[in-house]
Amino acid sequence: MLEDLLYFIDVAVDEMAGILEDLGDELANQVPALSQANSPYAILNHSLGVMAFWGGQVAAGREIHRDRQAEFTARGEIKDLVARAEEAKRQLRADLESAPQDGVAEQRPRYPVGPERPSFLWSTAVVHTLVELAQHRGKMEITRDLLRRDAAP
């Protein structure tokens, strides 16, 4: 089951990276003219934070230092973020393979997901990661389309 989930996580990350590469540095760092929108660069950057938190901290118990708010305002060169994405996929795999799959995580996320629980199962962390990445990939696709429309002559 883990291999199947990791496959779909990898697909989501790879497709987001592909969108950035197709847009180029300038468009990938632009924010569409919508309330609370984010640039494609920021969406992938945030997605890497999601992977680290849910896979590393919640599932594997590895302490993660993350500035979630700053993830949404990040800017930079695509090649650097794509390289970080590749490393994040490798780290997520290592975290999930090393985490106790039948136990519960010690660290409760700071916001509830689903019914109130004192802790989260490994499977909850993995599935939540997949769900978040799929949602963010969809947001990035819409953002790409808006940016391309606005950039058209």
**Does residue 101 contact residue 122 with C-beta atoms inside 8 Å?**
yes
- Over residues 2-14, the mean pLDDT reads 95
Question: Which CATH fold would you assign to the domain 2-151?
Answer: Four Helix Bundle (Hemerythrin (Met), subunit A) (1.20.120)
pLDDT greater than 50 at residue 118: no
The reported pLDDT for the residue numbered 148 is 95
Q: What is the pTM of this model?
A: 0.89
Any residues with CB less than 8 A from the CB of 57 and at least 6 apart, and which?
63, 64, 105, 107
Reduce the DSSP state of residue 79 to 3 states and report it. helix
